Each structure stands twice: as C-alpha cells, then as structure tokens.
A = this chain, B = another copy of it.
Amino acid sequence: MKQAYEDMSGKIIGGLEAGGTKMVCGISDTAGVMQSRILIPTTTPEETIPHMIDYFKKWKIEALGIGCFGPIDLNKKSPTYGTIMRSPKKEWSGFNIVRAFEDALHVPIGLDTDVNGAALGEVTMGAAKGCDTALYITIGTGVGVGVYCNGALVHGLVHPEGGHILIQKRTDDTFEGCCSRHPNCVEGLASGVAIAKRWGKKADQLADQPLVWEMEADYVAQAIANYILMYSPQKIVLWGGVMHRKELFPMIRERVQKLLNGYVCHSQIETDIDHYIVTPGLGENAGLTGAVLLGVLALKGDGYVI
C-alpha cells in the first residue's frame, strides 16, 4: 500500500467509510498517513451527503474511495451501479452514492462494501498482509464479512453477505432475532443490536453476565467455523464494537476449534489459532484506510494491482 501511495506522486486521496450509524471521512497523504479524519452521523442522504461533499471539496481530493454499507450494486455494467439496494436503512434504499459524489466532485471514485474495504486495508498493510485469501469480520451494530480471495475482493453475483448466514439457535435462547429477513442469521442473533434487544441492556451494561457472552461466543464461533469451512482463509481479522470486549476472543477461538473438531488439518487452526483469528493491524482505521485504497485503485484504473 505504501508503494501504491508513493506511486500517486503527491496526489491527495479521499476515503469514506459509509456506515449505518456514522460516516467516517478521511484524507490521506502520499505516505499513507491520514491527514484528517472526521465523523458525520448517518441520517438522511439529503442531510449527510452535502456535509461530506463540503469536506472533500475543501481538501481538493483527486480521487475518492468509498467502502459502503450494503446491499449495494457493485456491477459496473449495471445501470444501477453505485446504488444502495433494499437496505433496512429506508432513507438510503435506492440512493446512488457514487453518482452523488461524481456529480459534485468530478474525480474518479472507487466503490466496494465497507467490509471489503476493510479487508483490502488489512490484506494490504494490516494483520492479513501477504495473504491471498483472508476475511475481515465485524461484529458491531450489524455483522459484516469482507472477503479477499485469490488476490482480489469478492463480488460475484452481487457481493458476499456473510453476516446473514444461517446458524443454529441455542435451545435456551428465546429471542426471536433482530434481522427483519432471517430468524436465525448471525446478524439477527449476535450483532450489538441483537444483544441489546435480547437482554434489554446495552453490551457495556452486561459485562458481569456470563451467559450473555457465552451465547455470543457460541454464535460468532458457529459463523466463523462455517466461514473457515467455506473459504479456507489464511487469516481471519475479527473486530467491531462487540469485539472490543477482548475476553470474547479466547472464548470464540476455543469454540471454533471444538466445532471444527480437527477436520481442517492445519497448525494455524489446531495449535496457533491465537495468530489466526486476530484483531486488525490497522485498528479502527482498517475501513478508512481500505476506502482510501479503493480511491487509489480508481485513480490508477482497474488494472492496477496493489
């Protein structure tokens, strides 16, 4: 990534990590260091977009990279490329975030999902550096999975939605789930919103209740075991608001090993899982750094490889 920045010979690249609760905007210099970073609450496009446009105009950016919450149309051949699809965030459903910035900024714009952006950041200069297949999983307000496979971010038909894979509900869990579409998906049972709705309190007020965290670790481990069986990733970067509770990491790692039960034969999983399921090397900047990198790619053209 540093190389990629240097290739930009002094150009200023903007990055936007577009989330359901907040928009993280940043400006990076040619050494890959953030010159500026601001947070704007995600309300409606009419209210939120102009604030961001003003910010990026002020910095005279020469390209913008966007890592956006989804579902979003990433198919450049599609007439609705850049449009946020059937999102639970009603005001944003059907909004074309790429066109909004293109029309105002007239610079090349790179787009991917927020989690794919974070995965790109971690693979390029974070905890998954050098991997050709790796995942970035976030357990926060929602659950998202960014997928880098065979040296590129995965889009396929639309883009992965690993946060919505179906898992087995515990018999002692009477909560109906908080996903409007799936009664037993990971996001519906293990997101921060799910925890708060199930227990009637926010995660930080539940620190002393072991069952809350055992259940959480069970659900996240089920999802990760399935991700490992499906993708065979070389590294799993796990983060998000809920994972700030570091005690969850050993609980999840132990359960993942138990669920796989020795079937995936590799020392990384069997004896070195502490270095396999890890926190992001870029910390809270994984998503924003990845977004900037999407901007670098947009300026370089699709053919450019970091």
Of A36-44, A152-160, A290-298, the one with at least 4 CB within 8 A of chain B: A152-160
B85 touches A160 (CB 8 A): no
Q: For the complex, what is the distance from the CA of A166 to the CA of B162, rounded to whole Å?
A: 14
CB distance from A182 to the nearest CB of B (A): 6
Q: Are B86 and A160 within 8 A (Cβ)?
A: no
Q: Are B161 and A229 in contact (CB under 8 A)?
A: yes
Asked whether B230 lies within 8 Å of A231 as measured between CB atoms, the reply is: yes
List chain B residues, Cβ under 8 A from A164.
229, 263
The residue on B at minimum CB distance from A162 is B230
Cβ-defined contact, B263 with A181, below 8 A:
yes
User: Which of A103-111, A203-211, A219-227 contacts its partner?
Assistant: A219-227
Taking CB atoms and an 8 Å cut-off, the chain A residues in 191-225 that contact chain B are 222, 225
Complex alpha-carbon distance, A90 and B271, angstroms: 23
- Which B residues are CB-close (under 8 A) to A259? 166, 182
The answer to whether residues A157 and B266 also contact, given A152-B150, A261-B181 and a CB cut-off of 8 A, is yes
Q: Bound state CA distance, A132 and B234, in angstroms? A: 21
Q: Does A140 lie at the interface of the complex (its beta carbon under 8 Å from any beta carbon of B)?
A: no
A123 to chain B, nearest CB (A): 13
Task: State the copy count for this chain.
Answer: 2
| Distance (whole angstroms) from the CB of A68 to the closest CB of chain B | 14
Q: Does A8 touch B at the CB level, under 8 Å?
A: no
A79 at the interface (CB under 8 A from B): no
Closest to A181 in B: B261
The interface residues of chain B lying within 8 Å CB-to-CB of A145 are 230
Instruction: Kindly list chain B residues whose C-beta atoms are within 8 Å of the C-beta of A184.
Output: 168
- Establish whether residues A166 and B232, one from each chain, have CB atoms under 8 Å apart when the complex forms: no
The answer, yes or no, to whether A262 is at the interface (CB within 8 Å) is yes
From the candidates B155, B157, B168, name the one contacting A169 in the complex (CB within 8 A).
B168
User: Within the complex, which residue of B157, B227, B231 is in contact with A268, where a contact is CB–CB below 8 Å?
Assistant: B157
Q: Interface code A131-162, partner B: CB below 8 Å = 1, 0 otherwise?
A: 01100000000000101011110111111111
Q: Is A31 an interface residue (CB 8 A)?
A: no
Query: A residues bordering B, Cβ < 8 Å?
Result: 71, 85-86, 132-133, 145, 147, 149-152, 154-162, 164-169, 181-182, 184, 222, 225-234, 259-266, 268-269
14 A-B contacts (beta carbon < 8 Å): A133-B157, A149-B156, A162-B230, A164-B263, A165-B225, A165-B229, A165-B230, A166-B259, A167-B168, A168-B168, A181-B261, A182-B263, A227-B230, A230-B231
